[in-house]
Amino acid sequence: MAEAAETLDGWYCLHDFRTINWTEWKAFSSAEKQEAIAELNQLFSDWDLNHQVHEGSYGIYSILGQKADFAFMLLRPTMEELSTIETQFNKSKFAEITEPAYSFVSVVELSNYLGSKNGDPYAHPLVQKRLKPTLPDMGYFCFYPMDKKRQYGDNWYMLPMEERKNLMRSHGQIGRSYAGTITQIITGSVGLDDWEWGVTLFANDPLQFKKIVYEMRFDEASARFGEFGPFYVGLHQSPDAFIQSLSL
Ligand code: VOV
């Protein structure tokens, strides 16, 4: 049996994609709209407070194309907290006019492919920072789920550890050439959702998503072993901008 990589696991993560039923929103009376907006403001200010004290993080994104209208990315230390937030939102007036489009449940993950073997990795401040990330204030967001192939002949999980380390080293080298341009958060979802990882990328130039994903397609870790789900791309929105967009 090939040696399993050890993972370091951080905050739990919920990606929640929804569509808006504009016909129903427009049919709300102005009192109903005000109630919906007041509740949203309250929810967003709770999320923001949590984000400020670094007990979690959140991002609001306006999604381009027909797969969804908006997405929330929420990070919390426990699944219970994420579940509470999800229920709070679902009970809100605004949620009455939204429909589920896609969701993804995962946990922020780092692997030991490239780390040193010395000491407790959780003790490093840099590791803590990556496991409990503050979502960046960058203009664009890209999310997709992925697997590593498990086919006869090309089975990632049957490769010896050394070989996987080499492949991840090359992957990391490409990734690092995008330092400062792209921020990535890899969340593990084996046993939690239908794919093995969620890849969330942030950039100030959306063209960089196309560049990095394309370049990685030629790298063996992706070229031979990567299998990809649907891609979602969108624009980062402040709570105020999100609420503003409802009255456009
Ligand atoms: C900014 C870009 C960037 C950088 C710097 C980067 C670096 C690294 C390093 C150093 C490591 C390994 C150690 C760890 O930290 O886990 C990883 C790990 C991983 N990556 Fe990555 N990746 C990037 C970016 C990046 C992208 C764009 C993708 C999607 C692939 C594509 O073709 O679309 C991806 C995927 C992954 C995955 C699924 C894993 C886990 C694999 C596993 O088997 O466990 N990743 N990644």
Domains of the chain, by residue range, sit at: 8-245
CA 56 to chain centre: 13
Residue 222, ligand 1, Cβ within 6 A: yes
Å from CA of 92 to ligand 1 middle: 36
- Where does 8-245 sit in CATH, by number? 3.30.70.1030
Å from CA of 144 to ligand 1 middle: 13
Residue 192, ligand 1, Cβ within 6 A: no
- Does the pTM of the predicted model rise above 0.95? yes
Q: Locate tokens 């794919």: which residue?
A: 195
Å from CA of 88 to ligand 1 middle: 33
Total Cβ atoms within 10 A of residue 190: 13
CB contact at 8 A, 111 and 5: yes
Q: What's the CA gap between 20 and 197, in Å, rounded?
A: 27
For residue 219, give the 3-state DSSP assignment: coil
CA proximity to 96, closest of 21, 155, 158, 195: 21
CB contact at 8 A, 47 and 134: no
Å from CA of 186 to ligand 1 middle: 7
Give pLDDT tens digits for 151-183: 989 999 999 999 999 999 999 999 999 999 999
Is residue 113 part of the annotated active site? The answer reads no
As for the ipTM of the complex, it is 0.95
247 is in an annotated binding site: no
For residue 121, give the 3-state DSSP assignment: helix
Residue 171, ligand 1, Cβ within 6 A: yes
Mutate to test the pocket of ligand 1, among 186, 200, 209 (most ligand atoms within 8 A of CB): 186
Q: Which of 12, 58, 61, 144 is catalytic?
A: 144
Q: Please give the single-letter amino acid code of residue 158.
A: M
Q: What's the CA gap between 19 and 107, in Å, rounded?
A: 24
* ∠ CA 161-108-160, rounded to 5°: 5
Among protein residues, the one with the nearest Cα to ligand 1's atom 17 is 172
Mutate to test the pocket of ligand 1, among 112, 184, 217 (most ligand atoms within 8 A of CB): 184
Residue 37, ligand 1, Cβ within 6 A: no
Q: pLDDT of the chain along its 248 residues, tens only?
A: 899 999 999 999 999 999 999 999 999 999 999 999 999 999 999 999 999 999 999 999 999 999 999 999 999 999 999 999 999 999 999 999 999 999 999 999 999 898 777 789 999 999 999 999 999 999 999 999 999 999 989 999 999 999 999 999 999 999 999 999 999 999 999 999 999 999 999 999 999 999 999 999 999 999 999 999 999 999 999 999 999 999 86
pLDDT given at position 30: 96
Q: Which residues pair with 238 in a beta bridge?
A: none
